[in-house]
Amino acid sequence: MAHVIAVTNQKGGVGKTTTAINLGAALAEMGHYTLLGDLDPQGGLSLGLGLAAHDLDLTIYNILTDSRIPVAGITHHIRPHLDLLPSNIDLAVAEFQLIAQMGREYILREALQGVRHTYEYIVLDCPPSLNLLTVNALTAADSIIVPLQVEYFAMRGLEQLMDVFSRVRRRLNPSLEILGIVPTMVDVRRTNDQQILQEVTQAYPGLILDVYIKESIKFADAPRHQRSILELDPKHDGARGYRKLAKLVLQHYGEWSEIQERQEQAYLNLPTELDEALQASLTEPDETLQAPPTEPDEAPQASPIEPSLELSANALTDKSMPPDISLAHSNNGSSITPPPPATIAIPPLSSEYPASDFS
């Protein structure tokens, strides 16, 4: 049966949709069949994964307002091991229609019962408010993950969320638990971030997960390409962070195995091994380019002269050779013998070219 996880925080802009997308993508990457549910009328989760939800006739709004429509009828397969329940602006009026219904807090929980045996994990992206849609998500969930931007107003809003969590657990869903708080958009170089993390750790001991998501422009770039950060840049710190979050989720439910641990270590060490091999290839001398060592006592030998070149040299320097072998050329049938090497003589102009032509 699927574990249902609600990603919630009533403050907007803290990374709920980004966390839902990348947590679902990380779980799917590890081979776990995952269903993403978009409960935000803005439809950010659907658009971020490349589904034009504003053009759809059937969305999560329909299963909340019409019990005859099954969840499987509006599910879209978008990635290997990853499906999506889309939403659009129609969901904004669902809250007013649910007010008059009996047991309105349990509608989503009952709708998901039909697919809980199909998936291993169901991740719900909640809207940025503590309305009836959020209460439905908390009632249907087994646990919640709270993305927390490390700034003062987000920390103050966390108190209201904890109050709603306590009420839902007391009245609607006694088995609901907090899986953990995930700091997002963190820059540890900022003093403010360090102080907020310290205050949250003191106020909620044991709830801060051993992972934080660094601030990066890649998270803003990924939805533009309609991809998760794991697809856009698998080696990015953000991708590694959400893989670690998925690992913590699996460990929480006792589904993280030693095989996965070894696979993760091999995957994380792969870039380092390649870098070391490349560095070694650049620093080691190339034996093929080195000249063989010579003995210090041996003088270098001159290269032998080819017989033809040696004969030509002797022919030019040997005075015993007959005069008819000396260099000569023909000019209008006349033979001109060059002067001796000691003097430089200019041969007379041929009669064929008048002197006036050169003036």
At 79 the pLDDT is 93
How high is the mean pLDDT in each 10-residue block of the chain (359 residues)?
94 91 95 95 91 88 91 93 94 88 92 94 93 94 94 84 93 95 90 89 91 89 89 91 95 82 64 51 50 53 48 46 45 51 51 46
- 298 occurs within a structural domain: no
At 35 the pLDDT is 97
- 257 occurs within a structural domain: yes
- 292 occurs within a structural domain: no
- 349 occurs within a structural domain: no
For residue 218, which of 84, 18, 10, 53 has the smallest C-alpha distance?
18
The number of folded domains in the chain is 1
Q: Where are the beta strands (DSSP E) in the chain?
A: 3-7, 34-38, 76-79, 82-85, 121-125, 143-149, 177-184, 329-331, 334-336
At 279 the pLDDT is 55
- 225 occurs within a structural domain: yes
Enclosing domain of residue 16: 3-271
At 175 the pLDDT is 95
Q: What is the CATH number of the domain that holds 240?
A: 3.40.50.300
- 101 occurs within a structural domain: yes
- Tell me the sheet residues that pair with 183: 148
- 56 occurs within a structural domain: yes
- 299 occurs within a structural domain: no
